[in-house]
Structure formats: structure tokens, C-alpha cells
Amino acid sequence: MSSNESGTNAVLSAVTLSKQVSSPEGSLTILSDVTFDIGSGESVAVVGPSGAGKSTLLALLAGLDLPTSGYVTLNGVNLSELDEDGRARVRAESVGFVFQSFHLVPSLNALENVMLPLELASHANPRVAAMDIIEQVGLADRYRHYPAQLSGGEKQRVAIARAFATAPAVLFADEPTGNLDTRTGSTIMDLMFELNRRSSTTLILVTHDTALAERCDRIISLDGGNLVSDSRVAA
């Protein structure tokens, strides 16, 4: 594992990350020369206006996409050196996701959705483990419901349960409250921070909700694809 400036162990490092895409008007830079380290157990908010490159950064950090230049190391592994299956294996071992639009599998009920990553990771007893975490997010009585039968807040709880089910080293959350009303959003975030604290997972939270960002240990601000600030939040 590499060390960051503060000397703590970095679980996630972005090194001179850049991403360009081709568009009808020529090459478009979405992310330019972004470098930072994130230590184990840290909670980091990535903020910035629409089009700042937040979701692109998240995709690169999670190995869902590859940078044009620079690289990402996750748990000491350079993601750029792996093929797609290699990156998938890293995700199966160390990464969890919570998405803005939940991304539950419509044909699976709540319990089965939570079992999915456990089954993919060949967990010995996926049903018991999934049931345990479903109880922790307060859906014990609704585990047999299908996504279409759940409210937005409930869907996000299922998504959170699914993300934490494998006890990932890093949890990526992409605007997790974006589709929820303020009150539900706040409850959901309480739940997420609580689980995060309990399992000492590193949390990377993409949001443009300043209040939410301030609940994290650290805020990385992007604008126009550039890293404009990287600051710790006063306790």
C-alpha cells in the first residue's frame, strides 16, 4: 500500500487522472490531471456543479471506466493494468455501490437483490448474510417485496444493504439522495453513515448537497474537470 501525504495508509489513489472523450466538436476533456489519496476508513465527498466531472471520477475510481492518462490504485492494485474481468474481481472483493437511481434488478425481490453480490462472491451462506443486513436497514418485514412494490426510500435502503452486504473496503455512492425527498434522504444518509462507521468502510460520496458533503471527513471539489480544492471538514 502506498502512503499519502499525511502518512496514513491510502486505500484509494488517483494519480494524474485525465479523461478525454471524442465529440462532434473534437476532443472534450472531462477530467484533467486529478491526483489525490484516500485513506482507509475516510469519508470523502466529491462536490461540484453539473458537468464538473464528478460521475466520471467515480467511474474511474471504481474501475467502471478507464482513464485516458494517469491511473488509479485500489487496495494497492493499479486498475489500469487489469483487464475488465480483473477489475470486476477487484470490485467483487473490495467495492460496494449505491446509485442515485437505485439500480435494483426488477425481477428480484429485496432479499434476492441483496444476495446478488454475495452470490457473485461465492459467499457460503448468502441468504443468512443478506437477511442479517436487511434487518439492519429496517426492511425485515418487506424482504419479499419486488422493487416495483417499494417506495424510493425503501429501494435505497435495499441498495444500501446490497452495498454493505459484502463488507467492501470502499463504498461508492453516486448522489444517493438525488431521487429522494429531503426527509427520506436525511434518514437514508444517517443509515449510510451509521453502517459506514460500524464497518469502517471508506466512503466516496458524490453529491452536490453541501450539507451532506459537510457530514464527511473531507471534501474534494471539482469544476470543469479540474480539482479546485481538497479540504478537511472541521470536526
Give contact residues for another protein (rule: CB under 8 A).
55, 58-59, 62, 64-65, 84-85, 88-93, 95, 97, 99, 101-109, 112, 116-117, 119-122, 146-148, 152, 155, 162, 174, 179
Closest approach, Cβ 21 to another protein, in A, equals: 11
Measured CA to CA, the distance from residue 173 to residue 188 in angstroms comes to: 12
The span from the CA of 5 to the CA of 34, in Å, is: 15
Using DSSP, state whether 218 is helix, strand or coil.
Answer: strand
How far is it, in rounded angstroms, from Cα 37 to Cα 230? 10
Q: How far is the CB of 114 from another protein (least distance, A)?
A: 11
Question: Which residue, 39 or 117, is less far from another protein as judged by CB?
Answer: 117
Residue 85 CA, chain-centre distance (Å), reads 19
Min separation Cβ 72 and another protein, Å:
14
CB of 102 closer than 8 Å to CB of 159: yes
> Which lies closer to another protein via its Cβ, residue 65 or residue 217?
65
Q: Which is nearer to another protein, 39 or 177 (CB)?
A: 177
Residue type, 181: D
What is the strand order of the sheet 26-39 is part of?
26-39, 10-23, 69-74, 77-78
Dist. CA 76–CA 3, nearest whole Å: 10
Q: Which is closer to another protein, CB of 39 or CB of 225?
A: 225
Give 120 or 140: the residue with its C-beta nearer to another protein: 120
Residue 70: CB minimum distance to another protein, A = 17
Q: Shortest gap between Cβ of 120 and another protein (angstroms)?
A: 5
